[in-house]
Each structure stands twice: as structure tokens, then as C-alpha cells.
Amino acid sequence: MEHIEEEPDTLAESDLKAALMLADFARSAYFSGRLQHAVDFHSKAKWFYTRGTTRLSRCVLSHKTISLESVRRQVRDLLSHLREAETWYAQPVKEGQLNYG
């Protein structure tokens, strides 16, 4: 069976889309008071974001990498608006509120 190597931009795209999805899950879990889930999703989102960003930095500039840069910024902004995982247990969540750090 032949193994086909995926293109770096395809791998970066997969990582960044996974990071975006997980960051959104973290935000939703935090809103609903499921703090352990929020912490887990936040941690995984940061891991995929870091790997995707590293892979993206190794890609040749193209239309696809420009659009991936937009996804990367979207993930970065979402993660930056969520408090760091360690502080999520410090204050209870009030319905309809998210305490940004």
C-alpha cells in the first residue's frame, strides 16, 4: 500500500479548522458551566492552533495560505478572548455572561 504525503497547506488547514471548532466548543462549554469540558477543549484548541501555525509558516505563499491566515487569526482571537484554563474555576459563570481575561 502506497502512502501519499499530504501537502503542508492541507495539513495546516486541517489543524486550523480543528482548532477553530475546539475553541468554539470551549466557549460553548464555558457558557453552559461545563468547566472541565471547557478546559479540555481549550487545551486541545491551543495545541492544534500551534501545530497549524507552524505548518502554515512552512508553506509557500498562495491564495490558499492567505485564506488560512484569516482562519488562523480567527482562532487566535477566539482563544485570546477566553480566559486561561487555570482561571476558569475562580469565578462562577452567570447565565449569559462570559468573563474575558
pTM: 0.74
Q: Report pLDDT digits (tens) over 23-80.
A: 999 999 988 989 899 999 999 999 999 999 999 998 888 888 888 999 999 999 888 8
Domain CATH code at residue 27: 1.20.58
Number of domains in the chain: 1
Domain assignment present for residue 50? The answer is yes
Domain assignment present for residue 96? The answer is no
Closest Cα to residue 88, out of 42, 25, 24, 20? 42
Closest Cα to residue 101, out of 86, 84, 85? 84
> For residue 1, what is the DSSP state?
-
Q: Are 23 and 45 within 8 A, CB to CB? A: yes
Domain assignment present for residue 92? The answer is no
Residues spanned by the domain of 77 = 8-86
Closest Cα to residue 30, out of 43, 42, 48? 42
